[in-house]
Homo-oligomer: A and B are copies of this chain.
């Protein structure tokens, strides 16, 4: 088991916690030896990126696949990914679809090869923009719409025209307005081909 996944979340039945330990790196001949350190470094990156992802609500394996493609910096096919990460074909398939929907991974082909290859956006600012865009659409906007509706429904309340109702509506409004401002702001900065976020950060950095 030389190419184990970065994070072996799957407990093997036997007491072999260290099976994947020191016996794989130093083996091989010269070119392999050189790559082993890299491989390990990549694993580390993948592990940390996946951990952050999962604490932000991104399924661990989605983050892992993305991390792998990002840090390898080249197109890989499903087989290679599942081998490297030790996950099932089905999982890789769904994961790649998710990443494609977010726009941070793109499908490519290699001539003479029937398989599909995938590669990750390499520009980090562009990457972040795409992520923001996806989450904004999927999560922020629906919330805004819901708040808006709730606010209007509450406004139509006939029964209570007292201070309490006013305060309630004010709360809904303040939440809605703040989120809407963030929403609109992000529109502008993710609009221009991914460099917007970079620009925004630079502007703000020099400001305060």
A residues within 8 Å of B by Cβ?
33-38, 41-42, 44-45, 48-49, 51-52, 54-57, 70-71, 73, 122-125, 128, 138-140, 143, 146-147, 150, 153-154, 157-160, 162, 164-165, 167-168, 171-172, 174-175, 177-178, 181-182, 184-185, 188-189, 196, 199-201, 203-205, 207-208
Q: Are A159 and B45 neighbours in the complex by a CB distance under 8 Å?
A: no
A177 to B128 Cα, complex, angstroms: 13
Number of copies: 2
Instruction: Report the separation of the CA atoms of residues A191 and B182 in the bound assembly, to the nearest whole angstrom.
Output: 19
> Quick check: B201 and A204 within 8 Å, CB to CB?
no
Name the residue of chain B whose CB is nearest to the CB of A37. Answer: B157
> Could you tell me if A139 and B55 are in contact, using CB atoms closer than 8 angstroms?
yes
Most buried by B among A125, A140, A207: A207
Q: Report the bound CA distance from A140 to B56 in whole Å.
A: 10
Say yes or no: A204 contacts B205, CB within 8 Å: no
* Contact B178–A204 (Cβ < 8 Å): no
Tell me how far the C-beta of A188 lies from the nearest C-beta in chain B, rounded to whole angstroms: 5
